Structures are given as structure tokens and as C-alpha cells.
């Protein structure tokens, strides 16, 4: 039992390390370790329990809480938390000292996630491609209207309100049931990646509490809706998410045109190292995601054979 618990903590640490980097999904790491279904089952049970609690149904709350695999979730969550606390200061320092290189790494990671997510579509079609293109263009244009630069997005910490932390937690938690989407990536799109990272590094209990409360509410409400949408309209939802990721690459362009612009400028510094980092990051995500997909497919074949 002790060995199993320690192994689960190690798996959680690997997931936490992935979750803290935009473009890498902790769900993908869970697939590789063969614990994704177990994780999703506990997440669904927990979200159902919270839903019953919000409705005032204490009996339903206790019943669903009993279905959570606590011997699995607690060690896994401990490993995830340990990774976030250990790695947040390192990433925050790099975001300040090497914004171009870090933006390039994130650009490659998210671009790789677009490829992996497209492979998850069950029936690729022209309709899905149109959805990806439409959402991607809309997001790309919308982010061009938004103020701030790439460096603002990934390196400069603003002073968001507690409601911003709450909303960021509610949205980012939904990535737990999406192996192709990174919660940190969603924070980057919201402009909340650096503030959350800073709150972890500084031990800002108030901001982190708001973030965690948002995650709890998001788990109770949004994850159920997203789960149903994926079951009924899997390819449509995933296509929209792929478009979101593709269009959002704009905010990760390492060389914005001007200090207060989101227009794309020409590469003007650290070009070769940035290109190398982006390619390595892209390849890493594609290889890891491909391994996870092959593992999932082999397990599905084994189940059918049984």
C-alpha cells in the first residue's frame, strides 16, 4: 500500500509539472500512466457531490463523496501540489529574465497541442475544419484588439481582482477532463498565468483561496456541462477548442510589434535559440501525446478482446 501511494505521488508530481506549463496537459500525462479513466471517474464523482451540495441535497452529497477514490486522489493531488510549489518559482524567474525564450517554448508547446487535439477528433471532416478555422480566426482577431503584449501575457504580473482569480480557477479546472487541453494554457489566454504563478510563489493565501474556490465551483458546474457536451457533440466541441488554441497562439508570439501592441512583429532578437526551443517543445508534445494515444488505443483493443 505504501509503495502504491508513493508511486501515485510521483505520478501526481509529473502531472503537476505538466499542468504548470502552458500547452502540456496533465490529462495527457495521466493517459500515459494509465490512470486517466480513474482520475476522470473521481472528478465526475466529486463534481456530482458538489452539485448536490449546492442544491442542498446532503444525502446525495455524501453518497457521491463516497464514490471518490480517496486513496488515489489524495496522493495524486499531493504530488500535483508539490510540483506546482516546487516549480513555480523557477518558471516565474524565467518568465522575467527570458521572456522571448519562454514565449517561444510556450508557442511550440501549444502548437504541438493543436496537432494532438486534432488527432483526438473521431471523424475528421470538412465541417470540423471549418469550425477550427472560424473559431481560430475569431480568437486571433479578438486577441489583436485586446491590449497588452506577449511579454505582458507571460511575464509581467498585473494586480487582478479576487474575482479574476475566482473566474480563472473555474475555467482552468475544466481542463482536467480534457487530455488535449492545458489548464495553464487557458490561464495564458485569460491573462492570468503570471498572476497565478506569482501568487503561488509569494504564498498569497487570499488570491490562491479565491482561485481554489473558483476551481471548486467550476468542478461542480462547468465540468458536468462540458462532460455532457463532449459525449453528445464530441467532435464539434473539440474542434472549437482546437480553434481556440490555434487562434491564441497570437498572444505567445515572442516578438510583438511595439511595447503596447499585440500586432505581430518580425523576429529581432534571440531568433535562433527561440526557434530551436520552439521546435523542441513542439516535438516533445507531439511525441508524448502520440505515445498516450497509442497506449489508449491498445488498451481499448485489449478491452474489446476480453
Q: What is the DSSP string of 125-165?
A: -HHHHHHHHHHHHHHHHHHHHS---HHHHHT------HHHH
pLDDT value, residue 269 = 84
Looking at the DSSP bridge assignments, the partners of residue 228 are none
* 81, part of any domain: no
On the question of pLDDT at 180 being above 80, the answer is no
127 part of a folded domain? yes
Give the domain range for residue 277. 91-305
| Mean pLDDT computed over 77-106 | 87
Structural domain includes residue 205: yes
Dist CA 264 CA 150 (whole Å): 10
Q: How far apart are CA 224 and CA 66, in angstroms?
A: 18
Query: What is the spatial distance between Cα 228 and Cα 237, in angstroms, rounded to a whole number?
Result: 11
What average pLDDT score do residues 132-144 get?
86
73 part of a folded domain? no
Handedness of CA 170, 42, 209, 14 (dihedral sign): negative
Is 185 within the bounds of a domain?
A: yes
In a domain, 39, yes or no: no
Whether 157 has a pLDDT exceeding 50, the answer reads: no
**Which of 112-126, 175-189, 255-269 is the least confident region?**
255-269
Lowest mean pLDDT among 77-86, 97-106, 185-194, 209-218: 185-194
Place of cell 523542441: 280
End-to-end CA, the chain = 28
Please state, in angstroms and as integers, the Cα–Cα distance from residue 165 to each residue in 90, 137, 199, 216, 282, following that order: 21, 27, 10, 12, 29
The total of structural domains in the chain comes to: 1
pTM of the model: 0.69
CA dist 174 and 254 (Å) reads 27
More confident position, 298 or 218: 218
The cell numbers describing 228, all together, are 455532457
Higher pLDDT, 30 or 122: 122
Q: Which helix (H) or strand (E) holds 80?
A: helix 70-97
What is the number of other CB atoms lying within 10 angstroms of the CB of residue 268? 10
Residue 70 lies in a domain: no
Average pLDDT, the chain: 80
Among 207, 198, 221, CA closest to 163: 207
Q: Which residues contact 77 (CB under 8 A, 6 or more apart)?
A: 12
Burial (CB count within 10 angstroms: exposed 0-12, middle 13-18, buried 19+), residue 303: exposed
How many other C-beta atoms lie within 10 A of the C-beta of residue 130? 12
Q: Examine residue 141 and state whether it is found in any structural domain, yes or no.
A: yes
Amino acid at each position: 500500500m505504501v509503495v502504491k501511494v508513493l508511486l501515485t505521488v510521483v505520478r501526481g508530481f509529473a502531472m503537476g509539472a505538466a499542468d504548470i506549463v502552458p500547452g502540456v496537459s496533465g490529462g495527457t500525462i495521466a493517459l500515459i500512466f494509465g490512470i486517466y479513466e480513474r482520475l476522470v471517474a473521481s472528478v465526475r464523482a466529486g463534481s456530482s457531490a458538489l452539485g448536490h451540495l449546492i442544491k442542498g441535497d446532503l444525502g446525495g452529497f455524501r453518497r457521491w463523496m463516497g464514490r471518490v477514490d480517496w486513496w488515489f486522489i489524495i496522493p495524486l493531488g499531493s504530488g500535483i501540489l508539490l510540483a506546482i510549489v516546487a516549480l513555480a518559482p523557477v518558471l516565474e524567474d524565467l518568465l522575467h529574465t527570458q521572456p522571448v525564450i519562454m514565449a517561444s517554448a510556450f508557442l511550440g508547446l501549444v502548437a504541438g497541442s493543436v496537432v494532438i487535439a486534432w488527432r483526438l477528433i473521431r471523424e475528421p471532416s470538412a465541417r470540423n475544419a471549418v469550425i477550427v478555422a472560424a473559431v481560430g480566426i475569431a480568437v486571433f482577431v479578438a486577441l489583436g484588439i485586446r491590449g497588452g503584449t506577449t511579454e505582458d501575457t507571460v511575464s509581467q504580473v498585473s494586480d487582478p481582482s479576487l474575482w479574476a482569480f475566482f473566474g480563472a480557477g473555474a475555467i482552468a479546472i475544466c481542463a482536467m477532463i480534457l487530455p488535449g487541453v492545458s489548464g495553464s494554457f487557458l490561464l495564458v489566454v485569460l491573462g492570468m498565468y503570471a498572476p497565478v504563478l506569482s501568487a503561488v510563489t509569494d504564498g498569497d493565501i487570499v488570491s490562491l483561496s479565491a482561485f481554489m474556490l473558483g476551481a471548486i465551483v467550476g468542478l461542480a458546474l462547468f465540468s458536468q456541462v462540458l462532460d455532457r457536451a463532449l459525449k453528445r457533440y464530441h467532435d464539434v466541441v473539440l474542434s472549437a477548442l482546437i480553434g481556440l488554441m490555434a487562434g491564441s497562439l497570437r498572444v505567445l508570439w515572442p516578438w510583438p510589434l511595439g511595447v503596447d501592441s499585440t500586432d505581430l512583429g518580425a523576429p529581432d532578437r534571440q531568433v535562433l535559440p527561440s526557434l530551436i526551443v520552439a521546435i523542441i517543445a513542439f516535438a516533445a508534445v507531439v511525441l508524448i501525446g502520440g505515445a498516450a494515444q497509442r497506449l489508449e488505443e491498445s488498451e481499448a483493443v485489449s478491452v474489446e478482446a476480453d
